[in-house]
Chains A and B, each alone.
Chain A
Amino acid sequence: MNKDKIWHLIARKLTGEASAEELHELGQLLQNHYHMQYDVQVLEQLWMAECEHDEEYLEATYLLHKSKMQKQGVSFASADETNTQTGLRKYIHGTPRKLAILASLALVIVTSIFFFGNRPRKLDGSAVAGKAQVQQPVSGIAETRKANKTKLVLPDGSTVWLNSGSKLSYVDMFKSADKREVTLSGEAYFDVVHNKKKPFIIHTSSIDVKVLGTEFNVKAYPEDKTVETSLIRGSVRVVLKNDPSKSYLLKPNQKLVLFKPGEVVNTTNEKLRAKKSFEGIPKVVVEKLNYINGSSTATEAAWVSNLLSFHDESFKEVAVKMERWYDVEFEFKNKRLELEQLTGMLPSESLEKAMAAWKFTTPGFNYRIENDKVIIF
């Protein structure tokens, strides 16, 4: 009989969870460990000790609570209305608040502390955003694996943060006298040095982004259903590859979402869904950026600050982001969950913490981590 078993039995006895057999077993055990009998007695006494109840404080709190309800127009039908009215007047202070949103067992979504920790599961010593090492490119290709990010400074002085699983090539960047060109697959945040004479052009598979000098994020993973350009400041022009006559000038705090042809996008965002129902054109939506509550960081660019943040994204989309972030694979045993919606932020410093926070704030799903696989069920 291991010694910890006895503590389980004691706990179950105190909480009333113990079965008759377990109580019997505990009795037997205590006879063999009689030195523990005293401990158990003390614990029982502790367990029974009543918490202090401050009746007066509770009465006053209740009156305050009632006055709040009355200010909100909620009233009791009971007869002692006038009586309490006068009684509580002296307690009233503060202003009426709006009715709080209904608390229910329903799904409540997320958020978590802003975390500026180190990347977990680093596969090698390469750079992470925030603490990134600066690569000095001569020419060629910068590439990041999953679970890795990097920051690089281009020869023109522009800074690029390259998100996980992305590739930026800039071979021909300075050949041309009248433009600066790079090609991106994946996601990158650009802080482009202003140069009127040499516009900066980012080529992706489906769009070109032309800029003079500005800060913005381009998300163009080949496997994603959308390509997104989010503008933080300055201005950029987005040109569609398959229809060069169409170009969009973005203002700060706008993002352009391009739906790749033939993709059925599972989105919970009403606006996007409405837009999508038109077959064919237009497959482009311009939206406002989503700012993280109380901060000046846009969700779209949060990854640069090492924040794992979401806005109105389906579990599936969140999973894809996490797959890149931690270099893991997600498997949904329950397909219905894929469409659940998530807004908020998760602690980013480890997969385990992120998953625990996700689950804590989002009842109704289970997960387990097996090696490099996260199974959602």
Chain B
Amino acid sequence: MSENNLPYQRLDELKRRIAVYEDEAAYKEIFMMLFSSLTRFATSIVHSRETAEEIVSDVFVQLWNKRSQIEQIQDLRVYLFIAVKNNAVRKAKQQLKFSPLLLDELNVEMDSFDLNPEDRLLSAEAVKSIEQSIEQLPPRARLIFKLAKEDKMKYKDIASLLQISVKTVDHQLAIALKKIATAIGSTIRKKS
């Protein structure tokens, strides 16, 4: 619990430093903290990493320009995600000839995670099958899994970002975990 709350508290402090002291170091810290997640999220909408980076960078410019008001933003992280989503959707409309707006059509890229196969719990084979099972999740479940795990987002924030219900988030995440666990289970069974 406390671990999950840490980034939130940190962001609140950084937010205040920016608003009150125009502290560039605090701004940079937020940038470093969130740039990758936001870019991956935008990439899932615009299907281009370059465009996604530009979108995220633009959103950060706006953040600085509005620094005097940012204390009014309740949850800065969710705010940035929604801003990135809105800009990505607009970009897709203005400059690209497509815009896959349905969750099922998003192209969700997962960050590679540092699962150590040396660990006594997991064989290299198991790690591989976990990665595969995540890869094979439907886009919507994968996106929700990603936002919950990598971006440590709360159910209600995922729901408002994706315009779906909390119940759907709860359900999709349960399905995702079940599928991943099934993949783990099957490698074990094969072994024995």
Contacts and interface: CB of A to CB of B under 8 A. Distances in A.
A42 B174 contact: no
Contact of A15 (B79, B92, B93, B148): B148
Interface in A148-196: none
B125 interface: no
Contacts of A357: 101-102
A294 B101 contact: no
A138 interface: no
Interface string A69-87: 1001010111000000000
B83 A43 contact: no
B173 A15 contact: yes
A197 to B, nearest CB: 43
Given A4-B178, A17-B154, A111-B93, A356 B61 contact: no
A108 B36 contact: no
B176 to A, nearest CB: 8
B83 A11 contact: no
Contacts of A101: 87, 90
Contacts of A15: 4, 148, 152, 154-155, 173
A112 B174 contact: no
A360 B61 contact: no
B9 interface: no
B174 A7 contact: yes
B138 interface: no
B173 A363 contact: no
B118 interface: no
B124 interface: no
Interface stretch (A46-54, A222-230, A322-330): A46-54
B35 A113 contact: no
Contact of B89 (A58, A59, A111, A114): A111
Contact of B61 (A4, A72, A78, A294): A72
Nearest to A94: B54
Contact of A293 (B4, B94, B185): B94
A300 B59 CA distance: 34
Question: What does DSSP make chain B's interface, helix, strand, loop or mixed?
Answer: helix
Interface stretch (A60-68, A119-127, A261-269, A272-280): A60-68
A242 interface: no
B56 to A, nearest CB: 9
Contact of B174 (A11, A36, A46): A11
Nearest to A4: B174
A208 B85 CA distance: 46
Contacts of B97: 114, 293-295
Interface in B97-141: 97-103, 105, 111-115, 119, 121-122, 126, 130
Interface residues of B, number: 76
A42 B94 contact: no
B171 A62 contact: no
Given A17-B154, A102-B62, A294-B97, A361 B177 contact: no
Contact of B150 (A12, A51, A114, A293): A51
B22 A8 contact: no
Given A12-B170, A65-B57, A360-B101, A58 B36 contact: yes
Contacts of A50: 113-114
B82 interface: yes
B181 A74 contact: no
A61 B35 contact: yes
Contact of B180 (A4, A46, A293, A363): A46
A38 B133 CA distance: 17
B20 interface: no
Contacts of B89: 108, 110-111, 360-361
Nearest to A47: B149
Contacts of A100: 55, 58-59, 61-62, 87
Given A12-B170, A54-B36, A360-B102, 4 more contacts: A38-B121, A78-B24, A108-B90, A114-B97
7 contacts: A17-B154, A42-B130, A51-B112, A101-B87, A101-B90, A112-B102, A294-B97
Nearest 10 A/B pairs, CB to CB: A100-B58, A103-B83, A111-B93, A7-B174, A39-B181, A11-B173, A108-B86, A16-B4, A51-B111, A49-B113
Interface of B: 1, 4-5, 22-25, 27-28, 31-32, 35-36, 53-55, 57-62, 64-65, 79, 82-84, 86-87, 89-90, 92-95, 97-103, 105, 111-115, 119, 121-122, 126, 130, 148-150, 152, 154-155, 160, 162-163, 170-171, 173-178, 180-181, 184-185, 188
